[in-house]
Structures are given as structure tokens and as C-alpha cells.
Amino acid sequence: MRFVALDKQHGHIEAELTEAFARLLKTSAYTLGTEVEQFEAEFAEYCESAECVGVSSGTSALSLVLRAAGIGPGDEVIVPAHTFIASALGAVHAGATPVLCEVDEATGLIDPEAARAAITPRTAAIVAVHLYGQMCDMDPLTEIAKAHSLFVLEDAAQAHGALYKGRRAGSLGDAAAFSFYPSKNLGALGDGGAVCTADETLAARLRRLRNLGQRVKGEHVELGYNERLDGLQAALLRVKLPHLDAWNEARRVRAERYQELLSDEITLLTERPDGRCVYHLMPARFADRDAVATALRAQGIETGIHYAPAMDAHPALEGIATVTGDIRAARDWAAEELSLPMHPDLTDDEVEFVAEAVIEAVTETASAGGGRC
Ligand SMILES: Cc1ncc(COP(=O)(O)O)c(C=O)c1O
């Protein structure tokens, strides 16, 4: 069983996707242009944000927004020690130093107290990564950031449509970075990303930075990059956006079913009571993750690891990122996490099949000395 099934998702909307492609062939608005502008307006509205700036990927969204906010060499950016490497690359590419801090044991999300303890006179920003589709505890993070005049960047690459106290991902930080990598809750048919912000000045600078530093065509007022969102991807994203809430709800239904079938047997993600997780992934924890993955593979079930190693152990970040405090929970997540198949087209039979296989695998590995986390 496949981990994601984009062909199924696209099959439901094939005619609309084809129509969007045909429209692009007629208008030739391949880079920026009307489709990008319309998608930006629609996605900003969806995220309850004043501005949206389409860019070429989630990684470029993270680095451009930090640059646009004036964060760079000499600055420190606090990043959770358990996340995808791109959460830290934004700071690195902006010239700043990522400072890795502890996450919450139950959710894998940044621990606000660990973030507070990581603050130094050089700290300029906190990256709140809404991992697995669940939003960070934004109130304490915002309060800490306010007290120290820090920029709060939501890494919402996995959280399109997630809620925190009724508010949408992308509307709580100073800015939010989204990825439209194909398997994301809202995915393009290629790479894409966006920044949402309420700050018009920041958005204007982002629009210049993504487009070679141009204010208007031919007038290059600063050193920019070529990191634009393609018109074609914007047109396809416009087809998909109206379906996002239904797809997220379908993910939640499948997550609930996994919970019913598995929560007595294994450790699953703890949902925060004040949010609405959109289950980009379905993480589970196992003492012997590799043995469980092998047993599931033998039954034809694909799984994923999100993420290992803990961030400080990536060779690419050696000598660049620093660790602050004890990051035991981040290391535990890196050692034990295994993601089960999760997508809106997963059938009830498939969820049951996976759950049965997981229970069988856990029983086998426990009798071999593995055990529950
Ligand atoms: C948490 C997180 N941040 C950032 C990114 C980077 O996004 P992209 O792959 O579009 O560069 C991703 C996705 O891959 C992600 O999962």
C-alpha cells in the first residue's frame, strides 16, 4: 500500500486540471502574471492573511522571508531540533545561525520554554514549525517574541488549513512560509511555495527579492533572486484550493480511525486540545522502528521516517547550527518515529489492514525484545 496516492487525488479533478493547463497555453502567463496574482489573493483569503507572495518552494519562502525581514549574518534564529532540514536552511541561506532547541515529547513541536531559554542578545527570530499538520502553541511563543522583539516565522509547510484557537496557520506569526511540494496537503504538480504576512512592506520586499530585485520591470533596486512561483503551478493550485478543506477533513477521519484501532497498542501523535491538526502525516512511535518498517514492507505497506537524525546530526549543519539545552525529546522522536500511510483517498479497509499489520509487527518485535515506546 502506497504512502501517498496523488494519482487518485488528481483523478477526481482531472478535467479541471486539464482545463487550467489549456488556459495557460492560451494566456502564456508562465512566470508570475494573472494566475499567480489570483492564486495569491485566494490563498491569502484562505489563510486569513492580508498578503500572500508566491515563490518557487517552501525552502525559498523560508530564506526569502528572513532576508526580507533584515535577518542575516550575526543573527541567531531559534529552530526546533526535530523538523525537516529546510526549517533551518532558511536561516542558513539568509546568513544567520540556526540555534536548535528542544521539542515537546507528546507533539514533537517546539517547546516554548526551551525557545525562551535559547534567547541570547543575538537572537532575531523564532521558527515555529507546525509539524505533521499540527500548529505550535503560538500564544506563549508570541508572548516570548514580543518581550524580546523577535520575528516569529511560522513554518507552515505541513499545515495548510490547520487551526490554533480557531485561527488559521499563516495568520499568527509575523510571516508564514508554505510549501506546495506535490505531497503536501495543498500540493502543486511540481515545486512551489508562498509567504503569508500581514505586513505590506515585508510583502513588497518579498515581491522584489523573488524577482531579481526588480521594483518594476528593468528597475533593479536590490540584489534579488529568481525564486518566482510558476503561472502553471498557480493555475493548478487554484483548482486544488477549493478542495483543501474536504481533503483535510478526510485526513482527520482517517487519523481518527487509526487512533481508534491503534492508540491502546502504540504511541501516536498527541493532538493539542486547542487546535485542529490536518494530519499531513500520521506519525507513530516504536521502540524498534526499523523492525516495524521491515515487517510492514513485507506486507506491501509503505512507511516513511519524518525525521531522522535529529537536526544537529546532519553533516550539512555541522559547525553551522548550534544546540542549546537538552534535546532528548528531539532525539527520541528521531529514533522512534515512523509515519503510516496517510492521504485523503485511503479507504477504511486500507486503514484497518495497516493497523492489523502494525499490531502484528509490534507483537512480534515485543516478543523479540523491542516493546512499546
Ligand atoms: C516542515 C517543512 N519545512 C520546509 C519544507 C520545504 O519545502 P519545499 O520542499 O517546498 O522546499 C518542507 C517540505 O518539504 C517541510 O516539510
Cis, bond preceding 80 (omega within 30 deg of 0): no
- Same domain, residue pair 115 and 247: no
Q: For residue 33, is it within any domain?
A: yes
Q: How far away, in angstroms, is 71 Cα from ligand 1 center?
A: 20
* CA-based nearest residue to 135, from 114, 118, 152: 152
Q: Does any ligand 1 atom lie closer than 6 A to the CB of residue 304?
A: no
Q: How far away, in angstroms, is 361 Cα from ligand 1 center?
A: 31
- Same domain, residue pair 289 and 180: no
Q: For residue 260, is it within any domain?
A: yes
Distance CA 250, CA 236 (A): 21
Q: Which of 182, 210, 242 is the last residue of a domain?
A: 242
For residue 247, the enclosing domain spans 243-367
In angstroms, the first-to-last Cα distance of the chain is: 25
Q: For residue 1, is it within any domain?
A: no
- Same domain, residue pair 233 and 248: no
CATH at 264: 3.90.1150.10
pLDDT in tens, the chain (373 residues): 999 999 999 999 999 999 999 999 999 999 999 999 999 999 999 999 999 999 999 999 999 999 999 999 999 999 999 999 999 999 999 999 999 999 999 999 999 999 999 999 999 999 999 999 999 999 999 999 999 999 999 999 999 999 999 999 999 999 999 999 999 999 999 999 999 999 999 999 999 999 999 999 999 999 999 999 999 999 999 999 999 999 999 999 999 999 999 999 999 999 999 999 999 999 999 999 999 999 999 999 999 999 999 999 999 999 999 999 999 999 999 999 999 999 999 999 999 999 999 999 999 887 766 556 6
208 CB-side CA count, 13 A: 18
- Same domain, residue pair 113 and 78: yes
Q: For residue 40, is it within any domain?
A: yes
Q: What is the pLDDT of residues 79-130, one digit of tens each?
A: 999 999 999 999 999 999 999 999 999 999 999 999 999 999 999 999 999 9
- Same domain, residue pair 111 and 201: yes
Q: What is the DSSP letter of 268?
A: E
Q: How far away, in angstroms, is 39 Cα from ligand 1 center?
A: 20
CATH at 234: 3.40.640.10
For residue 192, give the ligand 1 atom closest to its CA.
10
Q: For residue 28, is it within any domain?
A: yes
- Same domain, residue pair 31 and 103: yes
Residue 134 · residue 159 · CB < 8 Å: yes
Q: Where are the alpha helices (DSSP H) in 50-95?
A: 58-68, 86-94
Rounded to the nearest angstrom, the gap between the alpha carbon of residue 316 and the centroid of all alpha carbons in its chain is 20
3-class DSSP state of 71: coil
Q: How far away, in angstroms, is 127 Cα from ligand 1 center?
A: 13
- Same domain, residue pair 29 and 16: yes
- Same domain, residue pair 238 and 313: no
Q: Is the dihedral of CA 206, 210, 216, 219 positive or negative?
A: positive
- Same domain, residue pair 237 and 287: no
Q: Does any ligand 1 atom lie closer than 6 A to the CB of residue 86?
A: yes
Q: Produce one character per residue of 355-364: b if its CB has 16 or more CB atoms within 10 Å, e if not.
A: bebbeebbee
Q: Which of 216, 242, 268 is the last residue of a domain?
A: 242
| Contacts with 24 (C-beta within 8 Å, 6 or more apart), sequence order | 30, 35, 231, 232, 235
Q: Look at the chain and report how many structural domains it folds into.
A: 2
- Same domain, residue pair 194 and 211: yes
Q: How far away, in angstroms, is 307 Cα from ligand 1 center?
A: 12
Residue 156 is which amino acid? A
3-class DSSP state of 23: helix
* CA-based nearest residue to 194, from 75, 332, 41, 22: 41
Q: For residue 213, is it within any domain?
A: yes
Q: Which of 208, 242, 276 is the last residue of a domain?
A: 242
- Same domain, residue pair 51 and 171: yes
Q: How far away, in angstroms, is 351 Cα from ligand 1 center?
A: 26
Q: Does any ligand 1 atom lie closer than 6 A to the CB of residue 193?
A: yes
Q: Does any ligand 1 atom lie closer than 6 A to the CB of residue 154?
A: no
Distance CA 176, CA 174 (A): 7
Q: How far away, in angstroms, is 37 Cα from ligand 1 center?
A: 22
Q: Does any ligand 1 atom lie closer than 6 A to the CB of residue 339?
A: no
Distance CA 328, CA 126 (A): 20
Q: Does any ligand 1 atom lie closer than 6 A to the CB of residue 267?
A: no
In the sheet that holds 175-179, the strands lie side by side as: 51-55, 193-197, 175-179, 151-155, 123-129, 76-80, 97-101, 322-323
- Same domain, residue pair 195 and 266: no
Q: For residue 372, is it within any domain?
A: no
Q: How far away, in angstroms, is 92 Cα from ligand 1 center?
A: 15
3-class DSSP state of 312: helix
Distance CA 78, CA 102 (A): 10
Distance CA 347, CA 92 (A): 41
Q: How far away, in angstroms, is 62 Cα from ligand 1 center?
A: 9
Q: Does any ligand 1 atom lie closer than 6 A to the CB of residue 58?
A: yes
* CA-based nearest residue to 67, from 186, 194, 223: 223
**Torsion angle, alpha carbons of 217, 61, 314, 280, to 10:** -140
Residue located nearest, by CA, to atom 15 of ligand 1? 157
Q: Does any ligand 1 atom lie closer than 6 A to the CB of residue 181?
A: yes
Q: Does any ligand 1 atom lie closer than 6 A to the CB of residue 87?
A: yes
Tell which one of 64, 130, 131, 158 to mutate to probe ligand 1, the residue whose CB is within 8 A of the most ligand atoms.
158
